[in-house]
Amino acid sequence: MCGLSGLWARQPLPEEHLRQRVQAMTATLRHRGPDEEGVWLEPGAGLALGHRRLSILDLSAQGAQPMASADGRYQLAFNGEIYNYLELRQELEALGHRWRGHADTEVLLAGVVEWGLQATLQRCNGMWAFALWDRHEQELWLSRDRVGKKPLYLGRTRDGALAWGSELAALRACPHLDDALDADAVALFLRHKCVPAPRSILRSVGKLMPGTLLRLTHDDLRAGAVAADLIAAAQPYWSAAAMIREAQQNPYSRPFEEAADHLEELLRSAVGLRMLADVPVGAFLSGGVDSSLVVALMQAQSTQPVRTFTIGFEQADYSEAEHARAVAQHLGTDHRELTVTATEAQAVIPRLAEIYDEPFADSSQIPTFLVSELARQDVTVSLSGDGGDELFAGYNRHGWLPAIWKRFGRAPRSLRGLGAALLRGLSPRAWDRLYAATRPLRSSRGGMVHAGDKLHKLAAVLPCTDPAAMYQRLVSDWNDPLRVVPGAQAPPHGWGWQAGLAEDDLGIAERAMAMDLVGYLPDDILVKVDRAAMAVSLEGRNPLLDHRVVAFAWSLPLSYKRNATASKRVLREVLYRHVPPALIERPKQGFGVPIGSWLRGPLRDWAEELLRPAALETDGLLHAAAVTRLWAEHLSGRRSHEHALWNVLMLQAWRQRWYNPAAKRLPPISCP
pLDDT tens for residues 625-638? Answer: 999 999 999 998 87
Going by the DSSP 8-state scheme, the letter that residue 504 receives in this structure is G
pLDDT at 211: 97
Q: Tell me the β-bridge partners of 334.
A: 307
pLDDT at 497: 46
pLDDT at 589: 58
Contact 80, 302 (CB under 8 A): no
String of DSSP letters for 132-184: EEETTTTEEEEEE-SS--S--EEEE-TTS-EEEESSHHHHHTSTT----B-HH
Under the banding of pLDDT at 50, 70 and 90, the label for residue 450 is low
Strands 74-82 and 126-134: antiparallel
Sequence-distant (6+) residues with CB within 8 A of 591 are: 286, 320, 364, 367, 368
Three-state DSSP string of 51-117: EEECCCCCCCHHHCCCEECCCCCEEEEEEEEECCHHHHHHHHHHCCCCCCCCCHHHHHHHHHHHHCH
What is the side-by-side strand order in the sheet with 205-207?
Answer: 36-42, 47-53, 2-8, 162-165, 153-156, 205-207
pLDDT at 172: 94
Region 468-491: what's the mean pLDDT?
88
E strand intervals along 341-383? 381-383
Q: Which of 50-64, 76-90, 406-420, 474-488 has maximum average pLDDT?
A: 76-90
More confident residue, 490 or 83: 83
Contact 485, 621 (CB under 8 A): yes
Under the banding of pLDDT at 50, 70 and 90, the label for residue 494 is low
CA gap 554, 146 in Å, rounded: 15
Under the banding of pLDDT at 50, 70 and 90, the label for residue 669 is very low
Q: Please, which contacts does 14-17 make with residues 24 or more away whose CB atoms are closer than 8 Å?
A: 14/43, 15/41, 15/43
Determine the Cα angle at 140 with ends 137 and 141, to 5°: 115
Sequence-distant (6+) residues with CB within 8 A of 37 are: 23, 26, 27, 30, 50, 51, 52, 53
Dihedral sign for Cα atoms in the order 199, 202, 203, 206: negative
Under the banding of pLDDT at 50, 70 and 90, the label for residue 339 is very high
Strands 334-340 and 67-68: unpaired
pLDDT at 487: 84
Question: What's CA 501's distance to the chain center, in Å?
Answer: 23
CA gap 371, 309 in Å, rounded: 7
pLDDT at 670: 31
**In the predicted structure, residue 88 carries a pLDDT above the cut 80:** yes
Helix (H) or strand (E) holding 123: helix 117-123
- pLDDT tens digits along 309-333: 999 887 766 678 889 999 999 999 9
pLDDT at 58: 80
pLDDT at 70: 96
- Mean pLDDT score across all residues of the chain: 91
Task: Count Cβ atoms within 10 A of the Cβ of residue 1 and give its class: 0-12 exposed, 13-18 middle, 19 or more buried.
Answer: buried
pLDDT at 347: 94
Under the banding of pLDDT at 50, 70 and 90, the label for residue 500 is low
Task: Count Cβ atoms within 10 A of the Cβ of residue 351 and give its class: 0-12 exposed, 13-18 middle, 19 or more buried.
Answer: middle
Region 193-198: what's the mean pLDDT?
95
Under the banding of pLDDT at 50, 70 and 90, the label for residue 590 is low
Sequence-distant (6+) residues with CB within 8 A of 606 are: 349, 669, 670, 671
CA distances from 591 to 287, 313, 366, 399 (A): 11, 11, 9, 20
Q: What percent of the chain has pLDDT over 70?
A: 92
Closest CA to 146 of 555, 524, 545: 545
**In the predicted structure, residue 496 carries a pLDDT above the cut 80:** no
Under the banding of pLDDT at 50, 70 and 90, the label for residue 144 is very high
Helix (H) or strand (E) holding 216: strand 212-216
Contact 497, 503 (CB under 8 A): yes
User: To 10 degrees, the CA torsion angle through 75, 79, 84, 85?
Assistant: 30
In order of start, what are the domains of the chain with their CATH numbers? 2-238 (3.60.20.10), 241-387+542-583 (3.40.50.620), 595-665 (no CATH)
**In the predicted structure, residue 73 carries a pLDDT above the cut 50:** yes
CA gap 155, 161 in Å, rounded: 8
CA gap 104, 88 in Å, rounded: 9
pTM score: 0.93
CA gap 554, 517 in Å, rounded: 11
Q: What percent of the chain has pLDDT over 90?
A: 75
Three-state DSSP string of 509-571: HHHHHHHHHHHHHHHHHHHHHHHHHHHCCCEEECHHHCHHHHHHHHHCCHHHHCCCCCCCHHH
Dihedral sign for Cα atoms in the order 526, 139, 231, 360: positive
What is the side-by-side strand order in the sheet with 139-144?
Answer: 67-68, 74-82, 126-134, 139-144, 212-216, 235-236
pLDDT at 59: 82
CA gap 288, 251 in Å, rounded: 28
CA gap 299, 363 in Å, rounded: 31
Under the banding of pLDDT at 50, 70 and 90, the label for residue 661 is very low
Compute φ and ψ for 594, nearest 5 degrees.
-80, 65
Which residue type does 442 have? R
- pLDDT tens digits along 462-473: 888 888 889 999
